[in-house]
Structure formats: structure tokens, C-alpha cells
Amino acid sequence: MDKFKAFLGRNKVFLYALFVAALTGIYFHAILFELPSLETLREYRPTLSTKLYDINGQLVTEYYTERRTWVPLYKMRMDLQNAVLSIEDHRFFNHYGISFYGIIRAAYQNFLHRRISAGGSTITQQLAKTAFLTQERTITRKLKEVILAVQLERNYSKQEILEMYLNQVYLGHGAYGVEQAAMLYFQKHAWELTLSESAALAGIIRYPSYYSLFNHPERNINRKEVVLDQMEKYKYITPVEKNAALRDPLLVVKAGGPRLSSQAPYFVEYVRLQVEQEYGPEVLYNAGWKIYSTLDLQMQTTAEIVINEFMAGFDKKRFEIKKSTDLPQAQVALLALDPKTGQIRAMVGGRDFRKSQFNRTYQAYRQPGSAFKPIIYTAALEKGYTATTILEDNPLVYVNDGRDWRLKANSTSYLQTLPPAWLKDPLKVWVPENYKREYHGRVLLRKALELSMNMCAIRTIEEIGPTTVVEYAHRLGIESPLTNTLSLALGSSDVTMIEMVRAYNAFANRGILTKPYAIIRIEDTKGRVIKENFTEEQDVLSEQTAYIITNLLKGVIKEGTGIYANYFIKRPAAGKTGTTNNFSDAWFIGYTPQLTCGVWVGYDDKRSLGDRNSGGALSCPIWTQFIKRALKGEPDIDFQVPSTGVTFVNIDPNTGYLATPYSKKVYNEAYLSGTEPKTALLSPTTSDYLPEVKEEEDAGGF
């Protein structure tokens, strides 16, 4: 025991040193264990923002955690590279990742301030810190930074390190990398920067917020001068070049640059959800992919402007009526599709995305009202009906006999024949009505559709059967559950806007149903195609039927409830209004050969929009102004008539028969070949003439 104590006494210093060395070794081993592997260093992949482009290649927005666009070193202006080297690490090409002079200087500064305030980091160390380590200021993190810097120098060339650094570095206001910063501050690429702009960017690196070009331009100017002095000192520029750069003003774009995130926000979110669901958020926000979409940004902007203009007037009018500022905001949805492809050209899901991200083009289920009637009459056309089929527009009452609804009367006499209590019970009696409760007797199918007569639609669906109409609705792309009852004639089943616009798009596309889609293709950073979408087509109607219903819907605009559009659009167009009970939903869905568009206006809580605020009064004007502006400069082409299967004949709209020399009015009507009238009334009696029908408001689903 005494010998052991004597041994300890003689070797105390040695043993203490050995102990410290062991602890130091363990400490460094622990640090090395926490460092990224060499494989990780060799496969360095920065987080890159994924870019969304419109149909014309215009940038719509970026999805990112760090907003960055990678640019190879050879594309960066040499003045930019030299400016960064001069101010951040002028010995970069002469050290092996660390600068002992810088470390000593930083240690001295830290000693004076009694805290870790100065870094003394080389460009390689800065890259190690920003790309692989946390931003904490500790001795341990500093040691990791030094070790990583040496490893980076062993695995990469100086040019590769400089390229990684210039793409990794943070330059303020959410911009990572010199390319993103150049676009943010100057709307230029990194290879387009002047010497003055290059020096200004290099000066930001040390303290991005303090030297901000947006918030503190005077500080940045002083910092730019320091950078230029350093560049002259290290022979990167001449005194003449420096003085010229000092005189060169910085043309900084408006603070924040273009607000990409505010463009087409509902469409941007629509795409985000699809990509994130298929590939995950990690890929979407970090992979640097390019998403080429179907959106037409110019059309989208037009849609948003038109909606804002019109709804500002609506809000003002509602305020004047209600005399209250505490009114909820009526919502709007607009969806525009390319008829031939189904590509989404414009999407507005609400008034303000910041307040509500609920996308009413596909997430809201609403009753379409009379906008559903073209589907009914499409089914009827293929069951033998024609544009001149005579329908009865008389009052109707249906009584529930416990199994089904049956027609009780087709006149107002039901008021005398039914118990008064029944009239108040919707489970026993259904009394549909026309708008204004006016009825016209015998009318042509064309006129019934143009003026949206409810009684005619109900009698039609009663004759061909609700099941048939449901079948046609599903055939036309409506997947929502539909009630297999007569009330379907009034659009009583909830559907989405995208379903309704898709159905009308089949009319515009000559009976071919297309699936709406937003993404054309996705490419990775190397231009390889990750995903590509193509138009999905399905023949659901004959070309002839599609043309006949289109021809009828042209009449809605020319002489019917959509006549507002006829005053402003001087091109062939077809469409239909829709209004639901209590004016809670106002629709207009219409199309030209180039574009199909649906507009909906309503409150999320389904309160009334106000008396007479129908689809013709609210949605049709928005649709009209959008189509007028969106298609400005496009040729005025008409819908193509099928080469066979459609026959035109002159008819007398007052009788529905062939026109005669004595007809006061003549209309050239289209028919499915073989269904056109073959006879004329040469000596019509008074009873042969159809009653004259005055212009009717949109008769929604009451």
C-alpha cells in the first residue's frame, strides 16, 4: 500500500495529464460520433424550393422551408464571387478549411467580451455550420465546425465548396443563396448582377437584418463601400472600377419583391394538397422540383379582378339595405376549364384566402337550382324530346300516398280539394312553384329552358323518370349522391361546382367528358419527368345531342335568364342560370368553344342573398365580364355543327310546327335528324297558337 502511494506521489503530474488526455479523447470521440458521416458530406443536398409554373411558363409561387434556387458556380458573375471572398474569406484558396489567424482573432474578441461573439469562420466553416450544424454558440459546436470544415476540404474542391456556400448562405428576407437574393432585391439572375449589386449582396452576409437593402439601405451603402475597398485591396478590381461602382445607384425592387404567394392562392393550395398527398411534405418543400400547371395566370388575375369589382358593389348595396357593418361576407367561387382537355385555367375558391382556405370550387356541396335543368333536358332529348316539344306550364301539387308522390292536380284547384293542414306539412304535400308564381300553359321546350320554368322541368322528369336523369348526371361526371325524386328537377341535391362545370364542359366538348386536372408534369432538379398527366376522355353523349343542348343553351343567353351576357359578349356562348330556394345560391355556368366557366355566389351558412339576387342578377354578370376579358383577342368562333345527324328546319315558334309563308316569326331550329317536324299548320286556329311568354326571371328551385 505504501509503495502504491509512493508511486502515485512520484507520478502525480503524469497521471493527471493521462486522465485529462483520456477525458479529452472521450470528449472528442463523442463529438466525432455526433458529426455527419463522410457519406452524408459527400451526398450534400441543400433544401431547394419547389416552383409552380403556369401554362405559359410564368412563375406562380414556390413551396419551401428555405427559399433557394441552385445556380452552378460557372454561371455566377465573377464580381459576385470575388466580392464574397474579399469580405468573408480572402485567404479561402490558401487554407485547408480553417484560419488560425481568424481563430486567434476571434478568441481575443471573445475574451474581451466574456462571451462567444466573434466567429473567425472561414467560408468552409460557415458552410459546415449552415449546412450540417445548429446555430448555437458553444465551444462544442465550434469544435464540430472546425472538424467538419477539414473534412469538407478533403472531400470537395475549392470551387465545389464555394458553389455550395454561395447557394447555401442566407441573405435576408427569406432568401437563401445568391440567385434567390438577386431575384428578390434586383429582379435579376446571379449572372446578371453589376459590380455594385454584387458588392451590396456580399455585404449582407455578415448581418442580413442589419444591412438589409429593404429596411436599412443607408447601412447597406456604407457596407457596400467596405466591400469594394476590400476588393480593391486584394486586386480584384481597379480604383477606377471601384469608383464607378460607388457611383452606380442600386435599383432595388419594392420591398418584398413580387408577392408570389398571393397569386392564385386557392389553386396553389389545390396543387399543394395533391403533391403533398402523393409524395409527402419533405419532398414538396425541399426537393427543388418544377411543377408545370394548367393555370393561366392572366386569366386567373382577370377572374380575381372581376370578382373584386362586382362584389364590392354587392357589399355596398347590402350595407345600404341592412344599415349594418356587422354583415358576413358573401362568398364567390369561379372555375374555368379548357373544354377540350379539362385543364383548369382559373380557380377562385373564395373572397379572401387569408380569412378562409375553404375552397368552394370543390369542397362546398350546394344545390345547383335551375343550373341542373340542362342535364334533365339532355336526357329528354335522347328519349325523343325536341326543342319544339310542347310542355305544360301549369301549377302542380303532389301528395305523398305513403309510398310515392303522385300528382293530385295541375291547376290551382288543389287549394279547395286538400285539407288546409296538409298544405302546411311538407311530408304530405309538395307544391312547387314558378318564379313570381306565374304560369304560361303550353310552351315549347326551348322556351321552358330559356326562361327556366320549374313546372315544365318537373313534368319532364316525371315522364322520363328520375332514375334516367340520375343516370345521365352520373354519366356527365356528377359523383355526388342524387335524390331519385321529382325535386331533382329543381336542383335539390347538393353537388360541387367542379362537378357541374365538368358536366357543362362535356356539352362544350361535343359530348366528350374530360377529367379536370391542375398538373401537367413534374420535373426534378435534373429535368427528369417525375409525373405527367394527360387528358382523360370518355364519350358520354353523342356529338349531335351535345350540339342540340348547346344550341338550346345559346337561347338562354340570347333571350332567356342569362340575357345580361348577350349585352356584353359579342361571341357565340351558351349557359344556364341557377337559383335556389330563398335566394341562398346563385349560379351561372356557361361556355364558349374556347372556355367553360362556372360562377357561384352565396353565404357559407346558406342565408339568403336578398330578394331578386338570382343567378341572372349576380353570377351571370361576373361570368360575363370574366369571359369578355379572358377571351379578348381570341377569334369569335361558333360551336361546330356535326357533319351528320343534325337537321335544321324553319319553324314557327308560335305553333312549334314548320314555318309557312304566313308565319309572323320564323326560327331556324336544330333537331336530331329524324325528329324534326314534318308538318305545317296552313290554317291554324286560335287554340293552335302558343301563349306569348314574357321574359322571366331565373326560376330557381323553390
* Residues with catalytic function: 88, 370
Pairing status of strand 397-400 against strand 405-409: antiparallel
**Residue 333 DSSP SS3:** strand
In angstroms, rounded to a whole number, what is the distance separating the alpha carbons of residues 644 and 636? 23
**Contact (Cβ atoms closer than 8 angstroms) between residue 288 and residue 525:** yes
Q: In Å, how far from its chain's centre is CA 195?
A: 39
b (16+ CB within 10 A) / e for 513-533: bbebbbbbebbeeeeeebeeb
Nearby residues of 361 by Cβ (< 8 Å), 6 or more positions away: 266, 333, 334, 335, 347, 348, 349, 496, 497, 498
At residue 163, what is the residue type? Answer: E
In angstroms, rounded to a whole number, what is the distance separating the alpha carbons of residues 579 and 698? 7
Nearby residues of 437 by Cβ (< 8 Å), 6 or more positions away: none
Taking every pair of Cα atoms in the chain, the longest distance, rounded to a whole number of angstroms, is: 144
| Residue 534 CA: distances (Å) to CA of 32, 505, 517, 537 | 51, 17, 9, 9
Strand partners, 405: 400
Q: Which helix (H) or strand (E) holds 514?
A: strand 512-514
Residue 130 exposure: Cα atoms within 13 Å on the Cβ side: 23
How would you class 100 by CB atoms within 10 Å of its CB: exposed for 0-12, middle for 13-18, buried for 19 or more? exposed
**Residue 291 DSSP SS3:** strand
Strand partners, 651: 658, 667
Of 107, 263, 75, the closest CA to residue 178 belongs to 75
In angstroms, rounded to a whole number, what is the distance separating the alpha carbons of residues 97 and 119? 14
**Residue 81 DSSP SS3:** helix
**Contact (Cβ atoms closer than 8 angstroms) between residue 422 and residue 398:** no
At residue 115, what is the residue type? Answer: R
Secondary structure letter of residue 196 according to DSSP? H
At residue 286, what is the residue type? Answer: N
In angstroms, rounded to a whole number, what is the distance separating the alpha carbons of residues 275 and 487? 39
